[in-house]
Structure 1
Amino acid sequence: MAAIPYITEISSKLIRILGCNPGPMTLQGTNTYIVGSGRKRILIDAGDADVPDYIGHLKQVLRDKQFQINDIIVTHWHHDHLGGVDDVLNAIDNKDSCRVWKYPRSDATESFSKVSTLKNGQVFDIEGAKLEVVHTPGHTTDHVIVVLREEQAVFSGDCILGEGYTVFENLDDYIKSLQVIQSFQPVVIYPGHGNIIPDPMTRISQYIHHRMEREAQIMAVFKKHPNDEFTEMDLVKRIYTDTPEQLWPAAAINVNHHLQKLATENKLVFGGNYWKLVPSSSL
C-alpha cells in the first residue's frame, strides 16, 4: 500500500487532504478533496471530528492557495466523513455562508442542523469543474458519489475503496450502485479511503465478482453441511481465512446481508439464532 501524503495537489483543480484518522476500517485515513480552480471551491467529505492535524493541513492549503470553501458535500453519514464538518466550518473565514450538503437518510434523522438537502442528479457548477451528485445506496441508505463528467472521474466515497473491499447495509442496492458507477465508464476513481484507482472498470468488475464469489462460498458451506446450523461468525471463520481477525466483525455484517438475500430467495432459513439450509435447495 503506497503511502498517501497529507496534502496532494493532484491537478490544477483537485487537491486531496488526508484526514489523519488511520484505522482498520479507514485504512490510512479519510480522503477529502477540494475541487475547483477559482476563488470559491468545494470540499468533498470532511474527515473525522477532533483531528487537529487534518484541520492544520486544511488551513495551510487555504492560506497558501488563497481560496475559500464555499460548499461541503458529505458522501454519507459515517463519522469519518461527516464528523469533521463543524471543525472545518470553525476553521474557515466564511463559516456562515459555507453550505453543507448531504443526501437525506431513509433510516434516521440527521444529527446536525446546518445541512442542505442533496438531490439525486444535483449539479454544482464552479470555476474549473462541473460536479454531479448521484445517489448510490448500499453502503448506507444516504450514500452518494460525485461525478466530474468532463474528466470521466468519480469521487466514490465508501462505495469503492482504494484497497480491499467495503462493508454495506443492503447487498442488492450495493450491487446496483456498482453497476451505476460502471455505466459511467470512469477513467479514474478518487476513493474515500486508499490510493487513487487508475483502472476503475477492472476494479468495479472485481467488486461485483467478489460479492458473487462470497455468496457462492457461503452456499458451499451450507451444502457441504446440509443438516448443520451456522451463525454469521461461524461462516466468517470458515470463509474469511485471509482476513485479519480484527476485521471479522465487519465481515460478519456483510455475511449477514448475504444471508438475508439468500433467505429472500428461499435458499436459507433463519431459526432465531442460526441459519440453516432450506432442504429443497440442497438438491
Structure 2
Amino acid sequence: MLPIFTTRSQRFIKGSIFEYKSGRGCSRISKMFLPHIPPVSNVSSRVLRVLGCNPSLYTLQGSNTYIVGTGHSRILIDSGEPNIPEYIKNLKETMEKYKFKIEHIIVSHWHEDHIGGVKNILDMISNKNECKVWKLHPENEKLREYNFPINFMKDHQEFHTEGATLKIYHTPGHTTDHVVIFLDEEKALFSADCVLGEGTTIFENLEDYMKSLNLILQLNPAVIFPGHGSVIQNPIRHVNNYIRHRVEREKQIIQMLRDHPLQAMTKSDIVNKIYESIPKGLLKVADRGIEQHLIKLQKDGVVIKIDNVWKFNNSFSL
C-alpha cells in the first residue's frame, strides 16, 4: 500500500517528525500526525484488529490485519509485512487469549505489506498444514511466486466460520487483483487499500478504481475496516469524498492545461504545480496518480499528448 496525501488532507503530513508509539513493542518513527491505533483491539463483537507494527509514511499507523469470527476457528484478513517479530508476538498472544486457531488467511492483494507476513504466521501456528491461504488471481495474468501454498478464490466467493459470513468482491484499480470483503452479519466492509482511514490511496488504473469505489457505494456498508488507518464510521460520505476528490483533481488538471495553452506542460510540471508542499519522498507516488488521470483524460478525448507535452484538446466540448 502506498498512500498519497492530497492538498485536501495535508493536515496529516504537515509539521515536524514525531514518534508514533503504540506500545507492546510496536513503535517506530513516523512523519505524520495520525490518530492512535492500539496494537490489538476489538473493533466489533466479531472482529479483532491486530496492527502490523510497520508504521511509515506509506503505511500510516501500520497495516491493519483482522481476525473474524467468534468460535475456536477464525479467519485472518491480511498478514502485514514479512519478518515483524512484534506483530507475530501480538497475534500469537491474541490467539492464546481468545483461544482460537486460524483456519483461513484471506489476502486482499499482492502488495508486501498485506501478503508478506503469511509465511511467518504459518510458521507460528500449530495447524500450518491445515490453514488455507487465499488470494484472487485475475485471468490472463502471470502467476506470482510465493514461499507458501496458495489457493485462488473467485469473485463473490463466500467464506463461513462461526459467527461470520464473508463475501469476496473483486475491486481492481489499486491493483488488478485487489478485493474487498463484506461481513454479512454486520454489513461491514474490509476495504484493504481501496479506501483508507486517513488520506487517499494510489491506483494502477483510475477507470477501474472509480468503478470499484462505486461498487462499494452499492454494497452500502454500515462501517469500513480499512487496510490502513482508523475505522470509518461514516462510509458512504467517506467514499463519496474519495470520488469527489478524483473528479476535482481531474477538473484541476483540465483547468491548468486550458489556462496555459501556449505553455509546454510535461507531466512533471503538472505534478509540481498541484503538489507544491508535499514531502519530496511522495512526489514519485503523486506522479503516478497524475499519470493515471492524464491517461483517462486522453482516452476521453479531453487532452492530447505531443512529444511528452500535454495540452487541452480545443476541439473537445466540455
Identify the match of residue 108 of structure 1 among 130, 142, 145: 142
Provide the C-alpha distance between the structure 2 equivalents of 1:193 and 1:243, rounded to a whole number of angstroms: 20
Provide the C-alpha distance between the structure 2 equivalents of 1:107 and 1:262, rounded to a whole number of angstroms: 26
- The answer to whether 1:138 aligns with 2:173 is yes
* Residue of structure 2 in register with 1:41 after alignment: 74
Provide the C-alpha distance between the structure 2 equivalents of 1:230 and 1:95, rounded to a whole number of angstroms: 55
* Residue of structure 2 in register with 1:26 after alignment: 59
* Residue of structure 2 in register with 1:234 after alignment: 269
Displacement of 1:202 in angstroms is 0.4
Q: Is 1:131–1:146's contact at 8 Å kept on the other side of the alignment?
A: yes
* Residue of structure 1 in register with 2:35 after alignment: 2
Provide the C-alpha distance between the structure 2 equivalents of 1:243 and 1:183, rounded to a whole number of angstroms: 33
Counterparts of residues 147-162 of structure 1 (less than 5 Å): 147-162=182-197
* Residue of structure 2 in register with 1:252 after alignment: 287
Displacement of 1:60 in angstroms is 0.8
Displacement of 1:141 in angstroms is 0.5
Provide the C-alpha distance between the structure 2 equivalents of 1:190 and 1:228, rounded to a whole number of angstroms: 44
Secondary structure of 2:198's partner? coil
Q: Is 1:188–1:200's contact at 8 Å kept on the other side of the alignment?
A: yes
* Residue of structure 1 in register with 2:19 after alignment: none
What whole-Å deviation, never above 9, does each CA across 1:138-161 have from its counterpart, x for those lacking one? 111100000012211000000000
Q: Percent identity?
A: 46
Identify the match of residue 229 of structure 2 among 191, 194, 201: 194
Provide the C-alpha distance between the structure 2 equivalents of 1:271 and 1:247, rounded to a whole number of angstroms: 27
Secondary structure of 2:315's partner? helix
Give the gaps of 5 or more residues in structure 1.
none
What whole-Å deviation, never above 9, does each CA across 1:173-219 have from its counterpart, x for those lacking one? 11111111101111100000000000001001100000000000011
Identify the match of residue 95 of structure 1 among 110, 125, 128: 128
The more displaced of 229-238 and 143-152 is 229-238
Number of aligned positions between the proteins: 283
Provide the C-alpha distance between the structure 2 equivalents of 1:206 and 1:244, rounded to a whole number of angstroms: 23
Give the gaps of 5 or more residues in structure 2.
1-33
- The answer to whether 1:264 aligns with 2:264 is no
Provide the C-alpha distance between the structure 2 equivalents of 1:161 and 1:207, rounded to a whole number of angstroms: 10
When residues 272 and 55 of structure 1 are mapped into structure 2, their CA distance, relative to the original with a 3 A threshold, is farther
* Residue of structure 2 in register with 1:80 after alignment: 113
What whole-Å deviation, never above 9, does each CA across 1:5-63 have from its counterpart, x for those lacking one? 11112233211000011111110110000000111100000000111111111111112
When residues 202 and 66 of structure 1 are mapped into structure 2, their CA distance, relative to the original with a 3 A threshold, is same
Q: Is 1:26–1:193's contact at 8 Å kept on the other side of the alignment?
A: yes
Provide the C-alpha distance between the structure 2 equivalents of 1:89 and 1:231, rounded to a whole number of angstroms: 47
Identify the match of residue 57 of structure 1 among 79, 90, 113: 90
Q: Which amino acid aligns with 1:135?
A: H
Secondary structure of 2:182's partner? strand
Displacement of 1:276 in angstroms is 2.5
TM-score by length of 1: 0.96
Provide the C-alpha distance between the structure 2 equivalents of 1:179 and 1:227, rounded to a whole number of angstroms: 37
* Residue of structure 2 in register with 1:16 after alignment: 49
Secondary structure of 1:140's partner? coil
* Residue of structure 1 in register with 2:243 after alignment: 208
Q: Is 2:257–2:310's contact at 8 Å kept on the other side of the alignment?
A: no
CA RMSD of aligned residues (A): 1.5
When residues 97 and 262 of structure 1 are mapped into structure 2, their CA distance, relative to the original with a 3 A threshold, is same
Provide the C-alpha distance between the structure 1 equivalents of 2:100 and 2:292, rounded to a whole number of angstroms: 44
Displacement of 1:282 in angstroms is 8.3
The more displaced of 240-249 and 8-17 is 240-249
The more displaced of 244-253 and 157-166 is 244-253
Provide the C-alpha distance between the structure 1 equivalents of 2:168 and 2:40, rounded to a whole number of angstroms: 24
